Amino acid sequence: MKLYPAFISRLVLLTCCYLSYIFLLAVACSGPGAESDPRKEALDSLYGRAADSMEQNPAYARGVLQRAIELSTDSMDYYRIYSGLLQTYIRVNNYDTGYVMAKRLIRFCDSQESSKLLNSLRTEGFNYLGICHGQMHHVDSAIYYYRLAVQHVLHSDKPSRMPDIYINLADIYLQRADYVNGVYCYRRALAVSDSMGIMHTQRFPVYFGLGQAYFGLGDYDLADTYFSSAEQELEGRTLTEKFTFCNNRGNYYYYKGDYSAALPWFQRARALVLPGGYQFHINLCEGNLGDIHCKLNQFDSAHYYLDRSYTYFKSINHYVFMYYIATVNAELALKQGNSDLAHRWLQRYSSHQGVDPQIVSLRNKFLQEYYHTTGNYAMAYRFLQQNNQIADSVSSERVRGRVAELDMRYKQDTALFRKNMLIQEQQSDLEYLRLAKIFWISVFCVFVGAALFIYMYLRKKNDLLRLKHLNQVSKLRMESLRNRVSPHFIFNVLNHEVIAEDNGASRMELRGLVKLLRHSLEVTETLCVPLAKELDFVRTYIGIEQGSLGDGFILKWEIDTNVDCQSIMLPSMIIQIPVENAIKHALRGKDGEKILHIAVANRNGGIFVLVADNGRGYMQTPPDRKGTGTGLKVIYQTIELLNARNKNKIEFSVSTDNGTRVEMYIPRDYSYEL
């Protein structure tokens, strides 16, 4: 995988930890009375044993330091040892514990009167916090704490720690792909090392970092120069430093397209981590080796390494590496003439989210080749354009970075930096002005934030008020519709009952009439009713009207037993109005057999209602035209209002074929809230 910035943090960790222990040992061994105090001598001995074993056996070093803590009777001794103990957790990648311990170390320093020794401890605390945040990919926080470490090391009793912290800061800038600031910090580390006469201890990390930075800026010649300089210092470096260098040196040749030169570097990196069983690093190298062998058309070796690497990264569900290896497998399949297998590999991991743009560019380059091979030239051209856009963006960014880097490089001056170290105390006034500026900016931001909050609150309040008014208008509209239909209905029923009374209608009809009138009044107050109540209303109405229809009237009443009539809600009068229209306009006055068919059944997660007759039918007129009956107009307008508030809609249709057929579908979870 060509993700070389991910390993820089490992280099940072081992470098700073090693130098930090040298610092602790020196601090512990210094000071008046150290030679004549047996307790001090015992602590010095434990420090030395811990420092000697830290690289190979951090667990043993931790035990030694814990015994040293038991011997300490002074808070300064305790926290010097505590700082070393903290480092053992950092070394074994226990960053959660390391973070908490570093915070505690800083709190102790803040509670004491300032001194150079305390500033040394502060420097280490901030440095460890930077390491923790860097490993957790909190890049901005890591930069913040490394800068605090730079500020405090100037006032400590060990200013020689400054180059190490600048290297850490430069490495974290490279992790963020900010190569310009990375180069700046590396060159500061070089200048400080030169002025302090400790250049020999910093050559490898600085040259290696500069090689990485110029590689990112696209200056391959300058990158090769610094990589070659770092290679001369490789002997005696730690395992992690050697592995990182070899892997990224292979990346350098890979992106230059010199695959034969890249192969031995990846093989060398794998050989370094293989004896220790570092599975992540081993499989990283094997993925790279599979890619190189594929590029060199060595298919058997490519299959061997890619299969092993893919199996491992799939077991830990690492998407970025699986995406990369799937791309190489697809390229390998296409080279072997199996375009179907290549297509399947590409389909497995198609999302680019979280994937480095360089890896996406590799995928697009292969897709261009794949579609060109399969004859889909339009898609091939599409991915060619995408890669050109990425290349243009990277090229433009590199040009801007190179210009900024050159400008920054010539602003640096070693002699000026030496002078700045002597007059560092005078910068406190500038710090005061900076803090004042931050204060007033903060006040302004608070003011703007408060104004924005008030504006958003008032806007929200107005929106709620407007919504409330809209709801009231909708309800008034619905009530108006109900009030329009109820007098109309009551008038029709009373007119019929007057005629029936003249003909000697029964007392039961009068009771039915009372029931209808009561239900009609209730309907004007409600938007929906249970299906059972609506059907009861319809039965009552048909009972009253049945006498006027004669002996030829036949009622077909089909209610599915699986329908829960008590729990199902539907708009008021949505069944009664079609029934009323059928009796009034289709069946009354018709000769012969008069059939009214009412059916209710479950269908598609809702209920289906049918009202049909065998009358003469009528030509349905759209509800927005004149001549439409009041009842159907109410139904259409009611459904229109309710459907506007629901995802699943009520369906209502009228057809005239051998009579009139009214069909409606009401979804099960329909809302009647306006």
CATH code, domain with 522: 3.30.565.10
Instruction: Please identify, among 151, 176, 201, the residue that sits at the C-terminal boundary of a domain.
Output: 176
Instruction: Please identify, among 176, 198, 219, the residue that sits at the C-terminal boundary of a domain.
Output: 176
DSSP codes, 267-330? HHHHHHHTTTT-HHHHHHHHHHHHHHHHHTT-HHHHHHHHHHHHHHHHHTT-HHHHHHHHHHHH
Considering only residues 414 and 217, tell me which one the structure prediction assigns the higher pLDDT. 217
Examine residue 350 and state whether it is found in any structural domain, yes or no.
Answer: no
Considering only residues 94 and 243, tell me which one the structure prediction assigns the higher pLDDT. 243
Say whether pLDDT at 229 is over 50: yes
Residue 289's pLDDT band (cuts 50, 70, 90):
very high
What is the chain's mean pLDDT, rounded?
78
Examine residue 585 and state whether it is found in any structural domain, yes or no.
Answer: yes
Percent of the chain with pLDDT over 70: 75
The predicted pLDDT at position 323 comes to 86
Q: Please state the three-class secondary structure of 10-31 as a single string.
A: HHHHHHHHHHHHHHHHHHHHCC
Examine residue 562 and state whether it is found in any structural domain, yes or no.
Answer: yes
Q: Give the C-alpha distances (Å, rounded to integers) separating 421 from 57, 171, 195.
A: 38, 23, 10
| SS3 state at 613 | strand
Any idea which of 141-145, 177-181, 209-213 has the lowest mean pLDDT? Answer: 177-181
Average pLDDT in the 58-82 region? Answer: 82
Examine residue 256 and state whether it is found in any structural domain, yes or no.
Answer: no
Examine residue 655 and state whether it is found in any structural domain, yes or no.
Answer: yes
Say whether pLDDT at 373 is over 60: yes
* Residue 28 domain boundaries: 1-176
Residue 416's pLDDT band (cuts 50, 70, 90):
very low
Examine residue 431 and state whether it is found in any structural domain, yes or no.
Answer: no
Say whether pLDDT at 73 is over 80: no
Strongest mean pLDDT among 349-358, 382-391, 622-631: 349-358
Q: How does DSSP classify residue 615?
A: S
Average pLDDT in the 93-111 region? Answer: 88
Examine residue 311 and state whether it is found in any structural domain, yes or no.
Answer: no
What six digits make up the tokens of 294? Answer: 């594929």
Instruction: Please identify, among 176, 203, 237, the residue that sits at the C-terminal boundary of a domain.
Output: 176
Say whether pLDDT at 4 is over 80: no
The predicted pLDDT at position 523 comes to 61
Neighbour tally for 619: CB within 10 Å: 6
| SS3 state at 664 | strand
Torsions phi, psi of 598, nearest 5?
A: -125, 125
Sheet of 606-613: strand order equals 553-559, 594-603, 606-613, 660-667, 651-656
CATH code, domain with 39: 1.25.40.10
Tell me whether strands 660-667 and 651-656 are parallel, antiparallel or unpaired: antiparallel
Residue 42's pLDDT band (cuts 50, 70, 90):
confident
Q: What is the CA radius of gyration of the chain?
A: 42
Considering only residues 15 and 662, tell me which one the structure prediction assigns the higher pLDDT. 662
Considering only residues 418 and 450, tell me which one the structure prediction assigns the higher pLDDT. 450
Q: Give the C-alpha distances (Å, rounded to integers) separating 526 from 69, 479, 481, 571, 669.
A: 80, 9, 12, 9, 18
The predicted pLDDT at position 246 comes to 94
Residue type, 659: G
Considering only residues 282 and 91, tell me which one the structure prediction assigns the higher pLDDT. 282
Percent of the chain with pLDDT over 90: 18
Residue type, 111: S
| SS3 state at 158 | coil
The whole-angstrom distance between residue 454's C-alpha and the CA centroid of its chain comes to: 30
pLDDT digits (tens, 9 = 90+) for 146-192: 999 998 988 888 888 888 889 889 988 888 878 888 888 888 888 88
pLDDT digits (tens, 9 = 90+) for 230-240: 889 888 888 88
pLDDT digits (tens, 9 = 90+) for 609-622: 999 998 876 554 44
Strongest mean pLDDT among 134-143, 174-183, 263-272, 438-447: 263-272
Examine residue 135 and state whether it is found in any structural domain, yes or no.
Answer: yes
Q: How does DSSP classify residue 349?
A: S
The predicted pLDDT at position 491 comes to 52
The predicted pLDDT at position 470 comes to 61
The predicted pLDDT at position 265 comes to 95
The predicted pLDDT at position 525 comes to 60
Contacts of residue 367, Cβ cutoff 8 Å, sequence gap at least 6:
346, 379, 380, 383
The predicted pLDDT at position 515 comes to 62
Considering only residues 198 and 274, tell me which one the structure prediction assigns the higher pLDDT. 274
Residue type, 30: S
Tell me whether strands 594-603 and 553-559 are parallel, antiparallel or unpaired: parallel
Residue 294's pLDDT band (cuts 50, 70, 90):
very high
The predicted pLDDT at position 627 comes to 40
Average pLDDT in the 487-515 region? Answer: 56
- Number of domains, the chain: 2
Contacts of residue 310, Cβ cutoff 8 Å, sequence gap at least 6:
287, 322, 325, 326, 329
Say whether pLDDT at 12 is over 50: no
The predicted pLDDT at position 399 comes to 44
Nearest of 330, 326, 384 to residue 351 by alpha carbon: 326
Average pLDDT in the 11-39 region? Answer: 45
Residue 383's pLDDT band (cuts 50, 70, 90):
low
End-to-end CA distance of the chain: 58
Any idea which of 76-85, 453-462, 495-504, 570-579 has the lowest mean pLDDT? Answer: 495-504
Residue 68's pLDDT band (cuts 50, 70, 90):
confident
**Alpha-carbon span 581 to 521, nearest angstrom:** 20
